[in-house]
Amino acid sequence: MDSVEKGATTSVSNPRGRPSRGRPPKLQRNSRGGQGRGVEKPPHLAALILARGGSKGIPLKNIKHLAGVPLIGWVLRAALDSGVFQSVWVSTDHDEIENVAKQFGAQVHRRSSEVSKDSSTSLDAIIEFLNYHNEVDIVGNIQATSPCLHPSDLQKVAEMIREEGYDSVFSVVRRHQFRWSEIQKGVREVTEPLNLNPAKRPRRQDWDGELYENGSFYFAKRHLIEMGYLQGGKMAYYEMRAEHSVDIDVDIDWPIAEQRVLRYGYFGKDKLKEIKLLVCSIDGCLTNGHIYVSGDQKEIISYDVKDAIGISLLKKSGIEVRLISERACSKQTLSSLKLDCKMEVNVPDKLAVVDEWRKEMGLCWKEVAYLGNEVSDEECLKKVGLSGVPADACSTAQKAVGYICKCNGGRGALREFAEHIFLLMEKVINSCQK
């Protein structure tokens, strides 16, 4: 259950004596409805994700693919779909991160080198952002490393700020962990329990546990941030569900994070439907796109046995698999692969063919998956319910999809995409059983 502590207020000063930063000239602030001049304008709430390029642990971690999506894409999707922000921003110093942010629909603030150092704090970067965005009244600082964040969490926090008058709200998670005092090496002392009586150790179900910050987000009003605080004034916490509280910086390694995201992550506004048809582009997906020609002018192609197994597994689970190509490739050569799939080659309009197949099977677009890699696949990738591309797909195709494989075309991408489908179908089944 989500819960919040309300009414915990405190007055704040600026003990740091932070000097005022040089900033661009301020624009005239918009009236918030005083002096009877029309309808009161709601305060401008901006989502801000900080994503500098210089990650120490994992190079360009913020755009490294997690479950087929750039890490920062998960929180951007949640922020944009929440509908509570007047603007959604990414503050970065890196071109590649900027491109990914814009691809997901965010605006970009190019942060200065002054606040992009290893020693720079989040507060430094947020204050710089506010210096350039006088229109912003409230900042929702969302951590890029929290991929299981859901729009519903952000909607509830926005209501607490706007409707209930809190100056700051931050996310927490409940943990059932017993704590003990730390003993320094070489000191002859005994450790002491900090939150339990060892003689009466409670069972988990008999103990409410304790609340810990999980770092997923920090919302604060402008005046508080300009005083040097992200938490203060009339403040409250927002308790997130434990399964949604994933912090890749701290809690888990990447492979485990992927499994958590596939199970508990937010995949968009549209509900997932069970996939009944997978259409796979032949050149560059089933194969690596290389064509060999024998001395007698016969076409020779290669494929990965893992992908053939992927096709077999999909068919055994009741998913039809069909192959398509814009090239006039040899059906005889493809038949020799013994994949037992219906195929169409020399197709000038792939979308029309896939639409025909869809209607033939009586399916809606949400029940169709597509694996493509070229510009000619773009419309199909945008139309279907589940789309994917190999790691070496062209940039146009990559921008149109929901899942980017780790494997290249003809080198296991189809099998990987099949596994992704199975995981999502498990999510669909579980949601239907609830």
User: Which residues are part of the catalytic machinery?
Assistant: 201
Residue 219: which of 300, 120, 138 has the closest Cα?
A: 138
The CB density around residue 175, as the number of other CB atoms within 10 Å, is: 13
Residue 301, C-beta contacts closer than 8 angstroms, at least 6 positions apart? 287, 290, 291, 292, 329, 333, 334
CA dist., res. 147 & res. 199, Å (int): 40
| Tokens representing residue 318 in the block | 């009741």
CA dist., res. 181 & res. 60, Å (int): 37
Tell me the helix, strand and coil percentages in the chain, rounded to 5: 35, 20, 45
The residue length of the chain stands at 434
Per-residue DSSP letter, 231 = S
Helix H or strand E segment including 235: strand 234-239
Question: Half-sphere exposure of 84 toward its Cβ, with a 13 Å CA cutoff?
Answer: 23
β-bridge pairing 138-142 and 342-344: unpaired
How large is the C-alpha radius of gyration of the chain? 26
Residue 171: which of 402, 314, 2 has the closest Cα?
A: 2
User: Are the CB atoms for 402 and 69 separated by under 8 Å?
Assistant: yes
Q: What angle do CA 268, 64, 149 make, to 5 degrees?
A: 35
Q: Which CA distances in Å does 152 have to 70, 159, 293? A: 21, 11, 56
269 alpha carbon, distance to own chain's centre: 13
Cα dihedral 122, 128, 133, 137 sign: positive
CA dist., res. 185 & res. 172, Å (int): 32
- What are the two backbone dihedrals, phi and then psi, of residue 87, each rounded to the nearest 5 degrees? -155, 150
